[in-house]
Amino acid sequence: QLNPPKLRPLTKQQQQQQQHDSLMLDWRSFRAKLIQMELRGCLVPSTPPNPKPAAAGRGSGLGTFAFSSGSWAHELPAPEVGCVLVARQDGMQFFDRTVVLLAAHDVRHGSVGFVLNKPSPLRLCEVQLSATAQGILDTFGSQRLQLGGPVHMETLTLLHAFAGLAGAQKVSEGVYYGGLPAAVDLVRSGLARPEDFKLLLGMTGWSPGQLEQEIASGAWWVVAAGQGLVLPSSGGGGSSPNGSGTKQQMLHGRSPD
């Protein structure tokens, strides 16, 4: 009788690739669902600029879409900070089939976002950045970069779930960006892992009114999404068993004791 082969545990890189593949499949499934709904006439071809707020899923026919990861998403009537923009049209050059997290949105100053599903073949140690945080290469040098957008490509932004991280700004519930120097200290102390942070190179920007015009022309679906879809690995444990309680404090916005 043959003994069954022993299964080797996944390496850290294999685990990260598995999480990335799951996220890409989820977004492809959701985009396909949106396309089907639109073809059946359940979704309006474009969202008018500055519509009145509506309850989640009402008027679109889409409702809430559940993902294999346990997260959720539903269409919104207008862009707001923390929503995601799903590319509707093919041939959008850099933004073809992209999903963009909207991190800032203001009628006077425009909008800023970060692409979530455009991986780069580069690791942090292979590019030259303007970031000056001490120890950044030692801490995140082996991490693979994602392309956050086509502008300010010399700038590195961290996307993460640590509410209590100094310098971080809240995007939506459980999703934050920034705080690079504090992130370095957190990883060095063993209270977080490098893979708890998504490293984004560059960003996406719109001048005042530009995003609304693009939405009205049918370029984007505007979607609310759960934290598990934006940060699929954000709930992982710390690298130190003794630091798990302190990490939970950071995740819930409290400074470590």
Averaged pLDDT, 206-221: 94
Question: Which contacts qualify for 84-87: CB closer than 8 Å, 24 or more apart?
Answer: 84/116, 84/223, 84/224, 84/225, 84/229, 84/230, 85/113, 85/211, 85/215, 85/220, 85/221, 85/222, 85/223, 86/27, 86/30, 86/31, 86/34, 86/220, 86/221, 86/223, 87/31, 87/219, 87/220
Q: Which residue has the higher pLDDT, 239 or 74?
A: 74
Mean pLDDT of 233-254: 49
- 27's enclosing H/E stretch is helix 12-39
Hey, which residues does 242 pair with through a beta bridge? none
Residue 169's CB is within 10 A of a number of other CB atoms, namely: 11
Please give the model's pTM, rounded to 2 decimal places: 0.72
pLDDT of residue 82: 94
Mean pLDDT, range 158-179, rounded to an integer: 94
- Asked whether residue 7 carries a pLDDT value surpassing 60, the answer given is no
Provide the pLDDT for residue 58.
Answer: 34
Task: Label the pairing between strands 168-172 and 175-178.
Answer: antiparallel
pLDDT of residue 149: 96
Rounded CA gap, 42 and 60, in Å?
6
**Residue 71, φ and ψ in degrees, nearest 5:** -85, -170
Given a cut of 70, whether residue 172 has pLDDT beyond it is yes
The rounded percent of the chain whose pLDDT value lies above 70 is 60
